[in-house]
Amino acid sequence: MSPSPRSIPKAILYAGFVAGTIDIGAASLINWLNPLIILRAIASGVLGRASFHEGLYSAALGLVLQWAMSILIAAIYVFAAMRIPRLGRQWMASGLLYGVVVFFVMSYVVVPLSAAGPSHGFTVQSFIENMLAMLLFGLIVAYFQRRFASTR
């Protein structure tokens, strides 16, 4: 049994918006920063250091970029789960594994290739905190895939 055509976009959008929003909150807590600063940091991927001088414009851009990337990440998982039903059946393990993949792709491919510039350096604590945030992200995406678009 395949999911209804309307359930796929629903799973992707819910997963993207919820996981993306919680990720902003997690980044704020991890770094002890106002969410607006986190959003400006996200916008710096496009605007560079200038994003920290653009006020609410760059924060709004950061929010749009965060949600767009989160929706894209969710869509990749949802479409993969349509091809590999085991991802939906074992959604917790699959979501955790997906979170690990997302962490490494974002940390070592996407961010370094962006205009944000070099990271603040590696610490074990920041690695663990950010990995935990991405594990949660992956679980949220897998949950919404299972909830709305699973081929149970």
Q: Average pLDDT for consecutive 10-residue bins of the chain (152 residues)?
A: 78 98 97 96 94 94 98 98 94 98 94 81 91 98 94 61
Q: What's the pLDDT at 119? A: 72
Amino acid letter for position 109: V
What does the DSSP assignment read for 62-107? HHHHHHHHHHHHHHHHHHHHHH-THHHHTHHHHHHHHHHHHHHHII
What is the pLDDT at residue 116? 84
**Are the CB atoms for 88 and 147 separated by under 8 Å?**
no
Q: What is the pTM of this model?
A: 0.93
d(CA 54, CA 109): 26
CB 70 within 8 A of CB 11: no
- List, in order, residues 6 or more apart from 144 with CB less than 8 Å away: 11, 14, 15, 18, 74
Asked if residues 111 and 151 have their Cβ atoms less than 8 Å apart, the reply is no
| Domain boundary assignment for the chain | 7-149
For tokens 């395949």, the residue is 2
